[in-house]
Structure 1
Amino acid sequence: MTPDELVAHALTLVEESFIASAGPGGQNVNKVATAVQIRLDVFALRLPPPVFHRLKELAGSKLTAKGEIVLTARSYRTQEQNREDARKRLSDLLRDAMNLPAKRAKSRLNRVGKVQRLAGKKIRGTVKAGRGKVNLD
C-alpha cells in the first residue's frame, strides 16, 4: 500500500467532532464550536508491524491506550480551516510512518587512523597525569 492510498483509506475512517475552541474568534468562540477533534482507530488500518511501530513512536501522546490517534485543531476561526489542518496533520503523520528510515552506513577506521587516535589518547593521558599532586620526596 502506498502512502497516498493509506492516507486516503485513513481519511475515510476518521471520526470528527466539533468542540468549543479557546483560540481566535472573539465572541464567536463562545457561540460556535470551531475546534475540530479527529479520531482514527489505528488497528482498523491493518498496518504492517514496522509501520505500526514507527507510527506509535511518532504519535507519542496523541495515541491512546485503545489504539486511537486523537488530534485537535483550533488554530483557525472556522470549522473548515480547522478540519483541513487536522486532516493535513494526520496525513503527514501517516506519511512519515510509511517512510523507511535511511540505513546508516557503517564507518570503518583504517589501521593508520586507529594508530593516530591511540597516539593522541596517549598524549592526552600523559598531559592529564602531569596535573596530579606534586611529590616533593
Structure 2
Amino acid sequence: MLKISNAIELADWEIEITQIRAQGAGGQNVNKVASAVHLRFDILRSTLPPVYKERLMAFSDQRISKDGIVIIKAQSFRTLELNKEDALARLQELIQEAVKFQKARRATKPTKGSQRRRVDTKTQKGKTKALRGKVKL
C-alpha cells in the first residue's frame, strides 16, 4: 500500500516495479547486480478518483505518456531497496500535485489606509521629481 493522503491509498497491484541493470555513460553496466528500477503506474486503471485521474492526464510531465502510463526510472542508489523507495516517493509526489486542491483566489479590495498611503507617496515622489535639477537661491 502506498499512502498518498489521508483518504487516498494505492494498492500494491496498481504499481508495477521492474528491476533492470543500471546503465552508465557509454552503455556499460555500472553494477553486476540489477539495482536500477523502472516503476510503471497506469493512471486509467488505477483506483484514483476520476477528478485526480483527469488532473494527472492534464499534466505536462514527460514521465506521463498520452495513454496514461507513468514510468519513473530510479537508479541513483546502489541498492535495490533504496531505488524502489525513491521511485515510489517520486510517484507519490506526482500524485500529490494532482490531489492538491487549487483554491480560487478572491480579489481583495485595498483598504482605505493603504489607498491613502499610496496616494501620499505618489504625490511626494512627484514633488521631489519636480524639484530635481532646479536650484533654489
| TM-score bin (small chain) | 0.5 to 0.7
For 1:94, give the aligned amino acid.
I
Deviations 1:4-50 (A, max 9, x none): 564323x4222222222247xxx983422211011212222353336
- The equivalences for 1:1-137 within 5 A come to 3=5, 6-9=8-11, 11-22=12-23, 29-45=30-46, 47-49=49-51, 52-53=54-55, 56-57=58-59, 60-101=61-102, 104=105, 106-130=107-131
What is the TM-score normalised by the length of structure 2?
A: 0.65
How big is the shift at 1:131?
A: 5.0
Cα pair distance change 1:129/1:61, threshold 3 Å: farther
Q: Residues 5 and 118 (structure 1 numbering): CA distance in 2 closer, same or farther, change over 3 Å?
A: closer
Shift of 1:85: 2.0
Once the two structures are TM-superposed, the CA of residue 97 in structure 1 deviates from its matched residue by 2.7
Larger helix proportion, structure 1 or 2?
1
- Over 3 Å counting, the alpha-carbon distance change for 1:87 and 1:50 in structure 2 is closer
SS in 2 for 1:93: helix
Does 1 or 2 have the higher relative contact order (CA < 8 Å, sep 6+)?
A: 1
CA distance 1:112–1:76, shift in 2 (3 Å): closer
Does the residue aligned with 1:39 lie in a helix, a strand or coil? Answer: strand
SS of the aligned residue for 1:40 comes to strand
Return 83-92 or 32-41, whichever deviates more: 83-92
The alignment's TM-score, normalised by the length of structure 1, stands at 0.65
Deviation, 1:91, is: 2.3
Bigger shift: residues 107-116 or 93-102: 93-102
Across the two proteins, how many residue pairs are aligned to each other?
127
Q: 1:33 to 1:108 in 2, by over 3 A?
A: same
Specify the SS of the correspondent of 1:62.
coil
User: Partners in 2 of 1:37 and 1:81 — Cα distance?
Assistant: 13
Q: Which runs of 5+ in 1 are unaligned?
A: none
Counterpart of 2:51, as a letter, is: P
